[in-house]
Structure 1
Amino acid sequence: MKKFISLVSMTALALTLSTSAFAAQGTVERSVNFRSAPSTDSSVYSLLKAGTTFEILDKVNQYWVKANVNGKVGYVSTDYISEKASSSSGATGTVTRSVNFRSEPSTDGKVYGLLSAGTKFQLLEKVNSYWLKIKADGKVGYVSTDYVTTSGTPAPSNPSTSKPDASTADRIIQQAKKLQGVTRYEFGVNKAPNVMDCSAFTKYVFGKEGVELRWGTRYQQDAGKAVSKSNLQKGDLVFFGTSSKNDINHVGIYMGNGQFIHNAPSTDGVTISSLTSGYWKDKYISARRVL
């Protein structure tokens, strides 16, 4: 989904905004549960259908917003909504620590230069929880959310279409391939990029291209929207059950031509496997499209 000297290393962390920054309206893009608390373990008030509009009261974190729906206050997942700024809100920001100003929302994006602490900028778009699209000194580019503060709410990025962004999918696959021979597998570990489990691996490589995923197959299996096996496209997440056909416990990234790349315990690292023959063919359960 969108200043000037030497390179700095960046880690993608969630952007936290104050309640006052959210003078915004939300719109449900895909049906979503309206909950009593910002957790999938909380009680469900109702199911909000696509097209439902509501007032965003607060951005709890990168996963949840506090919402006012017809006078009732609750919480909805950010995965299923879009945000639109109120006409009166102004979106600006300040660099808190020197940060690379890039051509794309990715650590592989060209570095225009380094923005020093104190630099003011216009906030054009919150691409995701990792990246902002900004305008500084007349130039448009991207900065990591970890190094700035903002006020006001920018226009949201365009919602995903039914077809994945091919260029983004290709870049994600290339990011995954770079980890072959680098990443070891260890269940329940997320020490990127050296030691990860399967879902930490997918979270990491998607995050490198500005696409946010939560760590854990239980979360990723509900991300984006469902796609059938016959309609798989590059960049789709593919899920498997190695102990039970009904219990998802493994995830990979579809590469096209019946192949997927994943961080597998059987090979203790990143490998490419077939979805149409061999061991994984019969372990396949489902797929999700997040691009």
Structure 2
Amino acid sequence: MITPAKLLRTTLLTVAVSAVCMIGASAASGVGTVNTDALRLRNEANTTSTILATASEGDTVVILEDAGNGWYKVDYNTVEGYMSGEYLTVSAQADVTIGYGLVQTGGSTLNVRSGPGTTYSKVTTLNDNAVVTIVGINNGWYKIKTSSGAVGYVSSEYMVTCKDSAGSRGDGTTAVAVASDSSMGQQIVSYAKQFLGVPYVYGGNGPNSFDCSGFTSYIYRHFGYTLNRTASTQLSNGVAVSKSELQPGDLVFFRYNTSYPASHVGIYIGNGQFIHASTNKYQVQIDQLMTGHYANVYIAARRIL
């Protein structure tokens, strides 16, 4: 799998570390509201596929397309997946705060219109990589609010959802990060340590609970990297690295008594230690990699950066 790390070595990052955004999102067609206690987001349109996240009653999702057989492809908290339409109240338009959006026009400016269509008057323009607040959807158009307070509509084809606010970036535009791979690894480690003590829950995607691969996926997604969802499939992310060459931020893998290629994954933090969502004490914790139990079940490492 080709990761955004390849781009980091050859180009300036177009997404700031403090405002990480999802790349390659589909255009929105509407909004869905969860009408059951809990609704699972899955990586395929069926009840047996991997669970990516769990939404609560009243949560909103961006409807990206009708996937057929009663399922919708959706964007939930910047993660794309599939939800059963049986438990979604779907509307083509709604005024509801969805989160933040990053303009992606390939260098051009984006017109903000007074209504959801190209025939409406122009309110203002947004530069490529500007970040705004998304406050609604109307038939494939996002209703947005800029940092200056202007409100209008932009086509969802030219915007992707973000995890963090534009305000945290000062001027509301995408900062340029020119960071070495090693310093990025330290940033990943520092961010991961903020979750020490968070409970381990099977299928947990964060931030209130994690399983092992849910933890690594969540941490890397904060920095703009998309990992596969399970420990075994994360073995195909990044490039192989030997145990003697480990750097902070590298993924480390383990295998217990299983036929799967890997059954556990964590993040190397340096000094022979790694951080992971552990099934030992059922929490995010730091353990020794080079000695003891984990040294005996260690199988591989992958470098994402």
TM-score (norm: length of structure 2): 0.48
Matches within 5 A, 1:47-126: 90=108, 92=110, 97=134, 113=147, 116-118=150-152
Specify every segment of 5 or more residues in structure 2 that has no aligned partner in the other structure, as ranges: 1-7, 9-13, 28-72, 81-104, 113-131, 137-145
Deviations 1:59-110 (A, max 9, x none): x9999xxxxxxxxxxxxxxxxxxxxx99xx85747657169xxxxxxxxxxx
Q: Which residue of 2 aligns with 1:270?
A: 284
1:177 matches 2:209: no
For 2:228 and 2:151, locate their aligned partners in 1 and report how far apart those are by CA, in whole Å. 30
Matches within 5 A, 1:32-43: none
Match of 2:183 among 145, 167, 173: 167
For 2:190 and 2:272, locate their aligned partners in 1 and report how far apart those are by CA, in whole Å. 17
Please tell me the root mean square deviation across aligned C-alpha atoms, in Å.
4.8
For 2:266 and 2:290, locate their aligned partners in 1 and report how far apart those are by CA, in whole Å. 14
Aligned partners of 1:131 and 1:210 also within 8 Å: no
How far does residue 169 in structure 1 lie from its aligned partner after superposition?
A: 1.3
Q: Which residue of 2 aligns with 1:249?
A: 263
The count of residues paired between Structure 1 and Structure 2 equals 188
Q: 1:281 to 1:197 in 2, by over 3 A?
A: same
Aligned partners of 1:198 and 1:262 also within 8 Å: yes
Give the residue type in structure 2 aligned to 1:184: P
Q: 1:16 to 1:245 in 2, by over 3 A?
A: closer
Q: 1:199 to 1:116 in 2, by over 3 A?
A: farther
Q: Which residue of 2 aligns with 1:187?
A: 202
Q: 1:199 to 1:117 in 2, by over 3 A?
A: farther
Runs of 4+ aligned structure 1 residues displaced above 4 Å come to 10-15, 60-63, 89-96, 112-117, 128-132
Which SS does the other structure have where 2:225 is aligned? Answer: coil
Specify every segment of 5 or more residues in structure 1 that has no aligned partner in the other structure, as ranges: 3-9, 19-59, 64-84, 100-111, 121-125, 144-156
Match of 2:298 among 280, 284, 287: 284
Q: 1:269 to 1:131 in 2, by over 3 A?
A: closer
TM-score (norm: length of structure 1): 0.50
% same residue? 33
Match of 1:237 among 239, 243, 251: 251
Which SS does the other structure have where 2:249 is aligned? Answer: coil
How far does residue 214 in structure 1 lie from its aligned partner after superposition?
A: 2.9
How far does residue 184 in structure 1 lie from its aligned partner after superposition?
A: 0.8
Q: 1:165 to 1:186 in 2, by over 3 A?
A: same
